[in-house]
Amino acid sequence: MTNRFKVDLRGIIDLAAHHLYTSPEVFVRESIQNAVDAVTARRRIEPGYTGRVRLELTPADDERPGTICINDDGIGLTEAEVHQFLSTVGASTKRDSAEEVVDRLTGEEGGFLGRFGIGLLSCFMVSDEIVVITRSAREPDGPAVEWRGRADGSYTVRTLPDSPLPPGSSVYLTAKEDAAEYFEPEQLTDLARRYAEMLPIEIVVAGADGQTPINRPVPPWKIDPSDQVALADTCQAALGFLPLDAFRVSTEAGNVEGYAFIRSGRTEPWGGTQKLYAHGMFVADRVHGLVPRWATFVGCVLNTTALRLTASREGVHNDAALETCSDQLAGAIRGRLLHLMRHDRAAFNAVMAVHDTEIRGLAIKDAEFFDVIADLLEFETNMGRIRFGEFRREHDRLLLARTAEQFRRLSAVAGAAGLRVFNGGYTFHEELLCRAAERHPELEVLAFDTADIAGLWPEPEDADRYRALIEAASPALQAREAELVVREFEPASIPAFFALGLQAEFHRQLDQTKSRASGLWNEVLDAMAPRPEALSPTRLCLNTRSPLVRRLADMPDPTLQRTGVEVLFVQALMAGQHALSPAEWALLHGGLETLLARCTGEG
Amino acid sequence: MPETPTDPEVQALLDEAYALPDSAARDAIFESAARRAEALGDLDTAWDARCAILQSAASHAAPKFETLFMCLAWCFAVSDDDPDRFNPASILWQYKWIATDAPGYASVPRAVLERIVDDMDDRFVRAGWGRRAGLHKRIDLAVLLGEYQRARELIPAWLAAPRDRGSDCLACERDTLVWLHAKLGDHEAAWREAKPIVRGQLSCATVPHSTFGRLLTPLVRLRLEDKAAELYQRGRRLVAGLDEGAHKLISPYFLHAARTGRAEECVALIRNSIRPAADLRADLDRLHWFGRAGCALSMLAEQGVGEVELPAVGGLTGPGSSEPGELARRFLTIAGDHAAALDQRNGNSRNARWLHDPD
């Protein structure tokens, strides 16, 4: 036996009205959308018909809540259609022939906006009752029909034989207590403008103060590309900034057209915005997957007639059409950057000055773009910023600090040794330099850290002079898993240098975290520790060019020598901007106490 | 109580990090700020910086998980000491990611992995979030340990558990089902479960990137080569569009390219991902990349490809072109070591068997 599900209509209405949409304000869009579709449908049977949509607001007073009447002079419904379409959740007057109509009415007039037949339910978010009075344009001699639907799922239908209503529909909403704000003139006008200002059918909001036209004379995607003033105004109004550059974009996939605008200022990382419209109706401020992630320096105002909208019409399905559309938009943006680079270098430099990180992101993903731009990219080094092209033409080896911390530690000593080190610690810098090296095999890129540079420093010729110092102080450092060595390096103003490779640095951080963490996490962190054989030796390098170190070496008292090295050890950690552990702070305090005691004759 | 001003140098690091997009470089600068703030006794700033790392890890594909483990360990330590000051709810959602990645390290003992999931489950329940996410992670763990039947047995309880704040991603849950069915060899079920993702109805930060890769082998085995070709193209494009971390997801695509005779595309995908792949730390990530690369290069050698040109990466490839069979042997040896380490920890031979016929 086959049974049928029982559907709780009240639950369905609640689900659609309160969970499908992100905000009650979408009732304005859904209402306008139904009205516009009704006008579009009438155009099918009356070519040349224009039509209009009117939102009439009666504000609340002491006795009555506010009401809105959404009136259109569109196709209207017969009594049978009222039963079929208004009273069946999920039915739509447009579904069956939407494709056909879109084919016929693309271009100036656009196709149907709705597809799902659930838009009317959104009105239950702001009104407990929806009243529709309608007369069909296909049967103008038939009676007008009134439909009253309530949020509990019940409805009534009656004919109005004496009504003089012309063909079309009027939808009446009465403000619920918690939705009164949407029945204020300013709010309603703002929402109508937000959703419907680009529609090609006349929309007005009427209230006690008269009529406010909603439509823009020309939607952004129809602006002439040479009208830079109109484009700048559009960008300011739609996206909130004046652009550095504006250019037309269109894609076959999704049948998208519109403009892209390059921002004049930095934005939050990856915080790009777009305004997407479908057949002129606003869809969303940001559509995931539409504009590539690297292109957040670009804002877009776009209209689609073919991307598939989600049921709430507040987003787009993440499907193959969207992916192809995104690729085509990416190509258009990249093409514009290449155009600027080749034909308007000043404009390109202005874009680079503001959007350096994002352009680097594109260069990593796009080999062709990378090849064109690589030589122009600037990188931070310890000897100042340098363009990659300038560097590669004169060098066959590039030293790369893989983190910003390692770079800072290396800067002074590498500079003194005449070594230029690149800072790979910023987003995309290491990847770009490695990619550049792949394109230029004559250039070798070497990861370089503080352990590597210490390995380059020679032992002093008078190494014997420091033997007693090393013997006195080595045990104290071994307790901290560091080896004490003497080396000759510049600048002489640095008495000691803490050489810690990347892996060893990670190991040190693990130890510091373990000192605070609990049992389970200590076991996890133990398991994460690098294998000992993977660690480069951790060394405190005493600089034999430093007068302080030479003086320390010549001191006769091993205790003072050890204390001096302990203090230098902590000083080197601090100079390297290492976070000190409590034991290291204690070492510093203990060392200073010992030295003070000796000075005062107490020790 | 007046707020303690943040140290200017720490603040400069924070400003620098906040200006960057989510990335491993940004995480490193936050970590640097956190350590310095902690050393100055400013635990609040250290907490904020580490929370920022944990939160960004959910939105970029290449977090250094070793760093995340450290962050989470530190955050739970201070939060457990003073939960009113350091709200544990701020980091619970990120715990799920980390719980899934720990099994990828062969050095983490099995018992510790079980305790991590128990701990996560317990913390979620204490936060009033329910058990659904914990059950999800138990399934992930069972799959990663190669215990597919145990994972299957957990599914009814998982899907019956109420949804809550900690388990609000439908796309991730569906992706797990696809993964599990594919591992169980039920390719039809994998394909059936994947359809809402393929149609674009379910997506998130990691889906469908991960799902399309999981589906390639099932679709070929179902003789749906056209669908496989479509998802290969779509998935490859999505993965290439990631800011970072493409190397962790790309390996099913180069393997599929080799299987379907797209030698040039296969080599290009390997070439673009070998350098970051060499830096991978987790055994499972390395097994997947090197295992699939080795298998793909073996196929290219059998298909008569004489030489492939890959960038010189220390210890893996030298300058100039190489014979694919030789590279394949080298990569498969690396993968074999990781498979052995994981299998030893797991107490089975799933990974070694996978390496003979990677999917």
Residue B72 CA to residue B49 CA, distance in Å, equals 12
Nearest C-alpha in B relative to A308 = B200
Region of poorest pLDDT, from A98-107, B60-69, B218-227, B330-339: A98-107
Predicted confidence band of residue A318 (pLDDT cuts 50, 70, 90): confident
Contacts of A398 in chain B (CB under 8 A): none
Residue B65 CA to residue A596 CA, distance in Å, equals 46
Is A528 touching B (CB cutoff 8 A)?
A: yes
Sequence-distant (≥ 6) Cβ neighbours of residue A5 within 8 angstroms: none
Among the residues of A366-501, which ranges form H helices? 367-373, 388-392, 404-416, 429-439, 450-456, 467-478
Identity at B199, one-letter amino acid code: R
Mean pLDDT of A138-145: 90
pLDDT at A8: 65
Residue B50 CA to residue A521 CA, distance in Å, equals 16
Minimum-distance CB partner of B112 among A323, A427, A527:
A527
Minimal CA separation from A538 to chain B, in Å: 19
Minimal CA separation from A198 to chain B, in Å: 27
pLDDT at A247: 97
Predicted confidence band of residue B326 (pLDDT cuts 50, 70, 90): very high
CA-nearest of A469, A456, A440, A557 to A497 is: A456
Contact A426 B25 (CB under 8 A): yes
pLDDT at B179: 94
Residue A400 CA to residue B72 CA, distance in Å, equals 29
Listing DSSP states for A9-31 in one string gives HHHHHHHIIIIISS-TTHHHHHH
Give the helix/strand (H/E) hosting A120. none
What is the residue extent of each domain of chain B? 1-87, 88-168, 242-359
Best residue in A521, A531, A573 for a mutation probing chain B (most B CBs within 10 Å): A521
- Give the pLDDT confidence of B56-89 residue by residue, as tens digits: 766 555 557 778 889 999 999 999 999 999 999 8
- A313 phi and psi, to 5 degrees? 60, 25
Predicted confidence band of residue B2 (pLDDT cuts 50, 70, 90): very low
Minimum-distance CB partner of B69 among A318, A365, A525:
A525
Which residues 490-509 on chain A approach chain B with CB closer than 8 angstroms?
A: 506, 509
Listing DSSP states for B175-227 in one string gives HHHHHHHHHHT-HHHHHHHHHHHHTTSS--SSTTHHHHHHHHHHHHHTT-HHH
- Give the pLDDT confidence of A249-258 residue by residue, as tens digits: 999 999 999 9
Minimum-distance CB partner of A521 among B29, B76, B107:
B76
Nearest C-alpha in B relative to A402 = B25
Instruction: Name the pTM for this structure.
Output: 0.77
Report whether pLDDT(B22) > 50. yes
Predicted confidence band of residue B3 (pLDDT cuts 50, 70, 90): low
Contacts of B319 in chain A (CB under 8 A): 441
- Give the pLDDT confidence of A327-362 residue by residue, as tens digits: 999 999 999 999 999 999 999 999 999 998 889 888
* Domains recognised in chain A with CATH numbers: 9-213 (3.30.565.10), 231-349 (3.30.230.80), 377-448 (3.40.50), 464-501+536-599 (1.20.120.790)
Identity at A485, one-letter amino acid code: V
A257 forms beta bridges with: A250, A303
pLDDT at A361: 85
Neighbours of A74 (CB within 10 A): 26
Report whether pLDDT(A4) > 70. no
pLDDT at A192: 96
Is B165 touching A (CB cutoff 8 A)?
A: no
Residue A518 CA to residue A201 CA, distance in Å, equals 66
Q: Is A135 in a helix, a strand, or coil?
A: strand
- Give the pLDDT confidence of A269-287 residue by residue, as tens digits: 545 578 999 999 999 988 8
Predicted confidence band of residue A491 (pLDDT cuts 50, 70, 90): very high
Q: What is the ipTM of this complex?
A: 0.87
Mean confidence (pLDDT) of chain B: 90
Mean confidence (pLDDT) of chain A: 87
∠ CA A499-A505-A507 to the nearest 5 degrees? 130
